[in-house]
Amino acid sequence: MAYALQQLINGISLGMIYGLIAVGYTMVYGIIGMINFAHGDIFMVGAFVALISILLLIAGGVMDGPAALLLVLAISMAFTALYGWTVERIAYRPLRGSFRLAPLISAIGMSIVLQNFVQLSQGARVKPLEPQLVGGFEVMREGDFVVQLSTMQILIVLTTLVVLAVFTWLVTKTPLGRAMRACEQDRKMAGLLGINTDRTISLTFVIGASLAAVAGTLYLLRYGVIDFYVGFLAGVKAFTAAVLGGIGSLPGAVLGGLLIGLIETFWSAYFSVQYKDVAAFSILALTLIFLPTGLLGRQEVEKV
């Protein structure tokens, strides 16, 4: 019982990180109907920017307390938002009127470019980081086994819930959110009604990249090790989470992330860890067979 509870806690914290990345996929798909396959590498760039920021603050003797972590998060979000804006301008905007496969191929190319850029600039070796946020709570004890809820896990859950609440408010209550929803329904008509669709799409990429930076920073602080390839697998898992929850649905993205995190964690705990990815993708396949739109997705209405 205690061991299962510990895995539940671990799975929720991992799933929240996947959910944050998945929200970025959902946003871009909702606006332009395309999958940004460079999004996982944006997450990786955010983690590296956070690592460099932490090391610089440690060298300067100012890496101490929550204020320093907030500064690291702000720096990571700023740099990663710039990368997101660049990806949209280079890989998507010139091909927006082209056939649907062209932006997909371009996004995969941007993913490879970002991977190799980080590999050349930071090296191919794994980058470790000592724990920056320690402590936690003892949830229960069963014999010699102690169930721990770390401060970092609490921070991950709270951050994800706050970000989801803020973004839901942004989409439903602000002029930018109304512009996003208008572009989602009919981009050409939104432009005719005076909405700057190019700016709306660029801001969507910027916000999605900022969310990926939050996920990258939390991942770095939680697991303390990253490399230039970490974004590929995390991106695939987050894309799976977005599809599983119902791509286009913000709550669905977080729900899908939670399910992927829990499946991966429990499979690693009770079965062979080598097959944890197979388990997650098998659940996705079964879901799409019986629920093609995902758990919380809505049926597409084709305009005629």
In which band, very low, low, confident or very high, does the pLDDT at 47 lie, cut at 50, 70 and 90?
A: very high
Q: Exposure of 254 by Cβ count < 10 A (0-12 exposed, 13-18 middle, 19+ buried)?
A: buried
Q: What is the DSSP code string of 219-243?
A: HHHHH-EE-TTHHHHHHHHHHHHHH
Reply yes or no on whether the pLDDT at 298 is more than 70: no
Task: Please report the pLDDT score of residue 91 as a whole number.
Answer: 83
79: pLDDT confidence band, cut at 50, 70 and 90? very high
How many Cβ atoms sit within 10 Å of the Cβ of residue 151? 13
Element at 32 (helix H, strand E): helix 2-32
pLDDT digits (tens, 9 = 90+) for 116-165: 999 999 988 999 988 877 788 888 887 778 888 888 899 899 988 888 88
Question: What mean pLDDT is predicted for residues 225-245?
Answer: 88
In whole angstroms, give the CA distance from residue 212 to residue 69. Answer: 16
Tell me phi and psi for residue 146, to 5 degrees: -115, 125
pTM flag (> 0.85): yes
Is the model's pLDDT at 300 over the cut of 90?
no
**How is the chain split into domains, by residue range?**
14-239
The residue count of the chain comes to 304
**Residue-wise pLDDT tens digits, 17-46:** 999 899 888 888 877 777 788 889 999 999
CB 240 within 8 A of CB 49: no
Q: How many other C-beta atoms can be found within 10 angstroms of the C-beta atom of residue 50? A: 28
Cα torsion angle, 197, 202, 205, 206, sign: negative
